[in-house]
Amino acid sequence: MKWLLGMNNRKLSKDGIASFGLTAMKTCPFALLCKKYCYANKGAYKYSVVYKAQQRRFKATMQDNFEERIAAEIVAREIKYVRIHDSGDFYNKAYAKKWINIANRLSDIIFYAYTKSWIYFEGLEVPANLLLIQSVGGRYEVDKNKPHAVIYKTVEEIPKDYVDCHKSDMELIKGYLKGKKNFGLVFH
């Protein structure tokens, strides 16, 4: 059986972060302005092998054993951090609930996602180890009172009250766990 979690993203894997990516746009129901600058529509994401892997993962999300399969893989590979969607997004509420269930099963693992689909989590009990960061550029305005990320053109533009995450998502994880809510990234 092929693994569903990748360790190929250089920015993430250097910190031991596994990623789970889906096809961009196809699984991004609330994408809007971000469509213009989406990094998951260029570079290595355009390789057919990457696209096929994203499609395979997308199909896996619809299987009854998805939660068990992801949980078993995390345990078997001794993964401690999972970025949900280095490409793509939560495409419906049922799928979002699957990640809540996975995070509840593995409470010692940190899961996190930049998302424009936070609406799917409204009214649900999100476990403390599932870090949801609202991402700008979608159909809905971000709530600046909740964890959110803004993408800037240069690192110098990131405001001082924002955690600079452009080099490492570990900065986001550490900041989030300390109660920070403002995260800055840079176009790439």
Report the sign of the C-alpha dihedral through residues 87, 89, 91, 97, in that order. positive
pLDDT on residue 32:
59
Instruction: Look at residue 120 and give its three-state secondary structure.
Output: helix
Mean predicted lDDT score pLDDT of the chain:
88
Angle between helices 66-76 and 93-105 (to 10 degrees): 40
Domain ranges of the chain: 10-134
Phi then psi for residue 50, to 5 deg, are -70, -45
Statement: residue 98 has pLDDT above 90: yes
Q: What is the pLDDT of residues 11-51, one digit of tens each?
A: 777 788 999 988 876 777 676 565 566 555 545 555 577 78
Statement: residue 127 has pLDDT above 70: yes
Q: What is the pLDDT of residues 151-172, one digit of tens each?
A: 898 999 999 999 999 899 999 9
Provide the CA 25 distance to its chain's centre, in angstroms.
14
pLDDT on residue 188:
66
Nearest-angstrom CA–CA distance, 81 and 95: 19
Tokens of 77: 């590979």
Average pLDDT over residues 55-81: 96
Average pLDDT over residues 51-66: 92
Residues 6+ apart with CB under 8 A from 131: 110, 111, 112, 113, 147, 172, 173, 176, 177
pLDDT on residue 12:
79
DSSP state of 124: S
Token pair 């991402």 is found at 135
Q: What angle do CA 81, 32, 169 make, to 5 degrees?
A: 20
Contact 180, 163 (CB under 8 A): yes
Q: How many Cβ atoms from other residues are within 10 Å of residue 159's Cβ? A: 10
Q: How many Cβ atoms from other residues are within 10 Å of residue 166's Cβ? A: 18
Average pLDDT over residues 46-71: 88
